[in-house]
Amino acid sequence: HVQLVESGGGSVQTGGSLRLACTVSGYSVRSYCMGWFRQAPGKEREGLAVVNTRSADTYYGDPVKGRFIISQDNAQNTLYLQMNSLEPEDTAMYYCAAGDGRTSISNYRYCDLAAVTFGSWGQGTQVTVS
């Protein structure tokens, strides 16, 4: 049973930066995909960034491309999200997630930002930008 615990959230001014961390435990085989999502009040959960834990390939959602960076420290079992140039629209609860990704018709396995492909979720950490 994978357990995910986020940290690093807080309040920051517009244009500032934060780095979120997600510690992962309770697994025997590392999940194929790790990702970051967020949800603001009254809005749907939004996929931000995902990393293929085997190849280290990354993929970003349009709202955060060029501003956020996802990375992993396998030795520390930690996933990070470096967030730069923060805007008030980035205010939300941020979640990390682990999942098995998708398999294409040609049996190619890949990661994307669809929340349904992630089976394990953390409790979230609040980010407020003003």
> DSSP letter string over 9-62?
-EEE-TT--EEEEEEEES-SS--SEEEEEEE-TTS--EEEEEEETTT--EEE-G
Q: Pick from 115, 110, 122: which is nearest to 32 by CA?
A: 110
Pairing of strands 10-12, 125-129: parallel
Helices (H) then strands (E): counts for the chain: 0, 13
Q: How confident is the model at residue 122 (pLDDT cuts 50, 70, 90)?
A: very high
| Overall average pLDDT of the 2-12 stretch | 96
Q: Are 127 and 42 in contact (CB under 8 A)?
A: no
The predicted-structure confidence for 93-107, as pLDDT tens digits, reads as follows 999 999 999 998 998
| Overall average pLDDT of the 73-101 stretch | 95
pLDDT attached to residue 28: 66
pLDDT attached to residue 30: 80
Report the share of the chain in percent with pLDDT over 70: 99
Q: Are 1 and 28 in contact (CB under 8 A)?
A: no
Q: Who wins on pLDDT, 2 or 49?
A: 49
pLDDT attached to residue 75: 85
Cα–Cα dist 24/34, whole Å = 10
| Averaged confidence pLDDT in the chain | 94
